[in-house]
Amino acid sequence: MPLVGLEIMIKKQQMNAWTLTLCVCGLLLWITGAHSQALRAPSSAGGLSLNAAEPIALRTQATGAQDTRRQASDYIVALVDSEPVTNQEILVQMQQWLAQMGNQRGQMPPASVILKELMEKVISEKSQLQWAAQQGIKVQESEIDQAESSLASRNSLSVEEFRRKLVTTGISLKQFKTELQNQLVLQKLRDKEVNSRIKITEPEIDQYLKELKANLREEKAELEIAQILVRLPESATPEQEKAAQDVMREVQEKLAAKADFFELAQKYSQSPEKAVGGRMGMRAQDKYPELFVNALENAQVGAVVGPVRSGAGLHLLKLVDRTSVSSELTSNQAHVRHILLRPSGQDSMNAIRVKLFNIKKQIDSGELDFAKVAKDISQDGSASLGGDLGWASAGMFVPEFEETMNRLKIGEVSDPVVSRFGVHLIEVLERRKNPMTLKEQREVARNALRESKFEQAFNDWAQEVRGRAFIEYRDDPQTPSK
Question: How confident is the model over 247-287, as pLDDT tens digits?
Answer: 899 999 999 899 999 999 998 898 888 888 999 888 877 78
CATH topology of domain 222-322: Chitinase A; domain 3 (3.10.50)
For the chain, give every domain's residue range.
Answer: 14-199+455-473, 222-322, 330-435
- State yes or no: pLDDT of 46 exceeds 60: no
- State yes or no: pLDDT of 23 exceeds 70: no
Q: How large is the average pLDDT for residues 164-191?
A: 86
Question: How confident is the model at residue 324, as a pLDDT?
Answer: 60
Task: Give yes or no on whether 222-322 and 330-435 have one common fold.
Answer: yes
Domain 14-199+455-473, what architecture? Orthogonal Bundle (1.10)
- State yes or no: pLDDT of 103 exceeds 80: no
Q: How large is the average pLDDT for residues 377-386?
A: 93
* Closest to 415 (Cα-Cα) out of 355, 471, 464, 469: 355
Question: How confident is the model at residue 325, as a pLDDT?
Answer: 55
- State yes or no: pLDDT of 476 exceeds 90: no
Question: How confident is the model at residue 400, as a pLDDT?
Answer: 84
- State yes or no: pLDDT of 372 exceeds 90: yes
> Is pTM beyond 0.85 here?
no
SS3 content of the chain, % helix, strand, coil (to 5): 50, 15, 35
- State yes or no: pLDDT of 304 exceeds 50: yes
Question: How confident is the model at residue 17, as a pLDDT?
Answer: 29
- Residue 146 or 59, more confident: 146
- State yes or no: pLDDT of 131 exceeds 80: yes
Residue 73 pLDDT class (50, 70, 90 cuts): low
Alpha-helical segments (H) within 221-298: 238-256, 261-268, 290-295
Report the range of poorest mean pLDDT among 35-49, 133-147, 339-353.
35-49
Q: How large is the average pLDDT for residues 99-119?
A: 76
Question: How confident is the model at residue 398, as a pLDDT?
Answer: 83
- State yes or no: pLDDT of 60 exceeds 70: no
- State yes or no: pLDDT of 38 exceeds 90: no
DSSP characters for 149-168? HHHHHHTT--HHHHHHHHHH
SS (H, E, C) 398-457: CHHHHHHHHHCCCCCECCCEEECCEEEEEEEEEEEEEECCHHHHHHHHHHHHHHHHHHHH
Can you tell me the distance from the alpha carbon of 367 to that of 119, in angstroms, rounded to the nearest whole number? Answer: 56
Stretch (H or E) spanning 27: helix 25-32
Question: How confident is the model at residue 21, as a pLDDT?
Answer: 37
* Closest to 350 (Cα-Cα) out of 404, 418, 401, 299: 418
User: What CATH number labels 330-435?
Assistant: 3.10.50.40
Question: How confident is the model at residue 129, as a pLDDT?
Answer: 93
The SS3 of residue 224 is strand
Q: Supply the mean pLDDT for the chain.
A: 78
Strand partners, 314: 230, 309
Give me the sheet containing 304-309, strands edge to edge: 279-284, 222-231, 313-322, 304-309
Can you tell me the distance from the alpha carbon of 177 to that of 175, in angstroms, rounded to the nearest whole number? Answer: 6
- State yes or no: pLDDT of 141 exceeds 80: yes
Report the range of poorest mean pLDDT among 79-93, 213-227, 284-298, 415-429.
213-227
Q: What are 310-354's pLDDT values in tens digits?
A: 888 899 999 998 876 555 677 788 999 999 998 876 677 778 888
Residue 370 pLDDT class (50, 70, 90 cuts): very high
Q: What is the share, in percent, of the chain residues with pLDDT greater than 70?
A: 80
Q: How large is the average pLDDT for residues 346-364?
A: 86
Residue 69 pLDDT class (50, 70, 90 cuts): very low
Alpha-helical segments (H) within 257-306: 261-268, 290-295
- State yes or no: pLDDT of 245 exceeds 70: yes
